[in-house]
C-alpha cells in the first residue's frame, strides 16, 4: 500500500503554503520510502511551478527516479508543462534519463503531442545522451 508523505500530498494537491511550512519545519524532500515518487515529481506532474521552485530551492533532486524509473522531467514533459521543464533543466535534470520502459522525457512529451517541449528537450540533448527511439 502506498503511503504518501505530507509533503508529497501537499505538492500533489497544490497546497503551496503547506509545502512551505513543512519544509520550514524540516520535511525531507526524499522520504524514507520514495518508491512511488517524491514531492517534486507530484508538483511537476500537476503543473505547479511555484511548488517546483520551492522544492528545488530546498534541495529536491530533479533526477530522482520513482518506482517506474520516471523523473520529474518525465512527469512535466509528458503533461505539457513547458515552464516546469525549463526550470528542471536549469537545475540539472537529465534529458537522457530513461524510465523502466526505456523512455526518456522527450519521448513522453512526443507521445503526448507536446511538440514545444520536444523542441526544448532536443536542444538540451548532449552528444553522449542516449535517447531510445521506441518506448516499449
89: in domain? yes
35: in domain? yes
133: in domain? no
User: For the chain, how many structural domains are there in total?
Assistant: 1
pLDDT confidence tier of residue 32, bands split at 50, 70 and 90: low
Angle between helices 16-24 and 49-57 (to 10 degrees): 10
Q: Give the CATH number for residue 74.
A: 1.25.40.20
Reported pTM: 0.86
Structural domain of residue 55, as residue ranges? Answer: 3-126
136: in domain? no
134: in domain? no
Residues 85-121: tens digit of each pLDDT: 999 999 999 998 999 999 999 999 999 999 999 999 9
Per the structure block, which three cell numbers stand in for 31?
Answer: 522520504
Q: What is the DSSP letter of 127?
A: T
- pLDDT value at 127 more than 90: no
8 A C-beta contact, residue 98 and residue 69: yes
What average pLDDT score do residues 73-77 get? 98
Lookup result for grid cell 501537499: 10
131: in domain? no
- pLDDT value at 124 more than 90: no
Amino acid at each position: 500500500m502506498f503511503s504518501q508523505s505530507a509533503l508529497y500530498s501537499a505538492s500533489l494537491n497544490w497546497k503551496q503554503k503547506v509545502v512551505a511550512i513543512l519544509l520550514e519545519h524540516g520535511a525531507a524532500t526524499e522520504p524514507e520510502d520514495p518508491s512511488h515518487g517524491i514531492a517534486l515529481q507530484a508538483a511537476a506532474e500537476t503543473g505547479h511551478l511555484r511548488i517546483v521552485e520551492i522544492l528545488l530551492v530546498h534541495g529536491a533532486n530533479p533526477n530522482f527516479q520513482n518506482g517506474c524509473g520516471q523523473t520529474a522531467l518525465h512527469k512535466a514533459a509528458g503533461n505539457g508543462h513547458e515552464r516546469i521543464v525549463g526550470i528542471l533543466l536549469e537545475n540539472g535534470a537529465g534529458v537522457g534519463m530513461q524510465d523502466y520502459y526505456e523512455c526518456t522525457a522527450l519521448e513522453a512529451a512526443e507521445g503526448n503531442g507536446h511538440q514545444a517541449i520536444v523542441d526544448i528537450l532536443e536542444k538540451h540533448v548532449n552528444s553522449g545522451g542516449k535517447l531510445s527511439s521506441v518506448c516499449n
